[in-house]
Structure formats: C-alpha cells, structure tokens
Amino acid sequence: MHAARATLLLSLSAAVVLGLALSPGRAAAQGAGEGPDSIVQLTDSVFRRGATSNVFIVTSEGIIVVDGTCSGGGQEWLKAELARRYTVPVKYVVLTHDHESHICGTQAFSDTAVTIAHRNALPHIVRERRNAAVPGITFEDSMEIHLGGKRVVLYYFGPTHSDNLIQVHFPEERVLVAPDVVRSGKAIGLPDYRDSDVHNLIRALRELSRLDDVEIVVPGHAGLANQQSFVYYRDYLQALRDRVLDEMVAGRGIEEILQRVTMDDFKDYENFEWLRANVITMWDYLYRYREPNSGPALNEFQNSFPTGFPIGGASP
C-alpha cells in the first residue's frame, strides 16, 4: 500500500492485440443501457454499463474499469463479458468513492488488476467491510494512469459527497465520470447532505463546469449529462444553502423552515421530491457551521437540534 502526494504515472509495456470490439461512434442521447447487464459505447474506447458509474476504457495493453455494481449479474458478469469481447485483461480498477452501491463486487478483478482510490476511501472500505476491492494504491490530490496510449486523470476536489469522492477524466475521449454530484439536465443531484461538505461541493461544481476537454458527463445514475448540468445543480444548491441559512439567522426552527423554504423557482428540476430531505440535512449541516450571538438566541439554538426528527419523503 502506498500513497502518492501529487501525480503518479502508471504504465505497462506489454502490447496485446484487442479482441472483439464494437462499432465506433457516440452514444445515444441518454447513454444508458437497458438494465444492469448491458453495455453502451460512449466513444471509440469508452463504454458504460447500464445507467451506472461502472465505466471502462479499452486499450491495446489492458482495460481500466471504473466502479462496479452488484445489480444484475454483478461484476462477475462484467468480467466474463470483457473476457468474451477482448483478449486483454483488466489492469486497473478505479473506485470513485467508498459507497458500496458504486463499488460493489470490484474484487472480481483482483486476480489481474490493481485497485486505486483516494486515500480517504481506504479506512471507510475496511471499517465498513464493503463488498469491494481494497485499494492497493491511494493518492491525495490527483493521479494519472497511462496504459496502451490512453490517459486517465483522477481528480480530488476535497470533501464533497463523502470525504473521498473523486472524478475520473478521459481527456482525449472527452468523457468525465462524475458520480452523484450531477444528474442529467436540470436536476437535484443528491437526496440529502448527511455526508457532504456543502460549501466545498458548491466550489467543486464550479470547477467541474469549467474543466477542459469534457463533452460527455457520466453521472452515477440515469442518463448522460454535460457540464451545464453542474451549473444547474450549483445554482440550486447555493440558493438552498442561502435560504436555509437566512431562516436560521432569523431565529426560525426546522419546522418553520420546512414550510418557508419551498424552492418554488426550482420546481422544474428532476428529483424535486427530495426537497424535504434536502432542507433538513442542509439545516443539520448549517447547524454545525454557524454560532448565533450570545444570549437567549444562542441558548434556544443549542437546544433546538431535532434528535430523531424524521427526514421522511417529499412531504411532511
């Protein structure tokens, strides 16, 4: 196990001929397969499994797999499918973050592949006993993988959705894998903010919207997005943060805030049914962020934390 502090270059020299390949061309507009055991071609060498962040790039020297899923036939299905299509092995598995729904079953490739993740992901994976590969290489800020003439760049923008989420960029292919911080079109990206650093997430969304060499954005769920989707979500998230914070500064409690922060100007966003959980967990985040002035307001604020307050669904 070792950590790389800046950029680590990985390369392999063995030249192997590709096996069966699919016809080249861009993916359809949605870019999501029919069910988990389906593969959509995004570019000449980048493919996506179902509607997940389980993406892979095929090179003349091996395959790099991003994330995994235990839906459908799991990673054993993908392993068999890759062996059927290609004569090169999986050399690297990249875990975008520690959440099991995104990395499940990735140990299926441990016989041929090295697993890579952000250094903060490792203790979560071990402690929670994730059904996933344990990273053999970790990094801190950024990292590049070079394999068969292809380049993959891993970015860490700091704590956002978890303290270990990374983005995976195929710059020459103009594809960015950005799980869970974006959805297709105008949409709320996350159902809640229980493990998020909201302020840094807002900053990261700005950076991602301006990243060079991006044409296709692969979310963690559903159809493909583009960089405008980062802008849409950032606009919503910043407005939600500001409105909840203003209500808190005005001395209002969570029940009243839920009634007042309606976000009506964002009702055209997908996943708007997540608003209640968004407001409550934003309140929780900001409760830990601010300190009221001393006096009765501070005492009331300290006693107002709603232990056991139900997050619930779309309505109170």
Look at the chain and report how many structural domains it folds into: 2
Domain identity same for 131 and 234: no
Instruction: Return the CATH number at 119.
Output: 3.60.15.10
pLDDT at 36: 79
Domain identity same for 24 and 162: yes
Sequential pLDDT tens for the chain (316 residues): 444 433 345 443 332 323 333 333 344 446 666 777 899 999 999 999 999 999 999 999 999 999 999 999 999 999 999 999 999 999 999 999 999 989 999 999 999 999 999 999 999 999 999 999 999 999 999 999 999 999 999 999 999 999 999 999 999 999 999 998 999 999 999 999 988 999 999 999 999 999 999 999 999 898 899 999 999 999 999 999 999 999 999 988 899 999 999 999 999 999 999 999 999 999 999 988 887 776 665 566 666 665 555 555 543 3
Domain identity same for 44 and 110: yes
Domain identity same for 120 and 170: yes
Give the long-range contacts of residues 5-10, CB within 8 A, separation 24 or more.
5/139, 5/140, 5/141, 6/140, 6/141, 6/142, 7/141, 7/142, 7/143, 7/144, 8/137, 8/139, 8/143, 8/144, 9/144, 9/145, 9/146, 10/92, 10/137, 10/144, 10/145, 10/146, 10/147
**In the chain, beta strands by DSSP E:** 2-4, 9-10, 39-41, 46-49, 55-59, 62-66, 90-94, 114-118, 137-139, 142-147, 150-155, 167-170, 175-177, 216-218
Domain identity same for 133 and 199: no
pLDDT at 309: 59
Domain identity same for 6 and 97: yes
Tallying the residues shown for the chain, one arrives at 316
pLDDT at 291: 79
Nearest to 287 by CA among 264, 309, 266, 271: 309
pLDDT at 293: 79
pTM of the model: 0.85
Give the long-range contacts of residues 151-154, CB within 8 A, separation 24 or more.
152/57, 152/64, 152/94, 154/94, 154/116, 154/118
Number of H helices, E strands in the chain: 8, 14
pLDDT at 288: 86
- Which domain does 93 fall in, by range? 2-180
Assess contact for 243 and 258: CB atoms under 8 A: no
Assess contact for 97 and 179: CB atoms under 8 A: yes
Domain identity same for 210 and 313: yes
pLDDT at 4: 42
pLDDT at 306: 58
Domain identity same for 258 and 306: yes
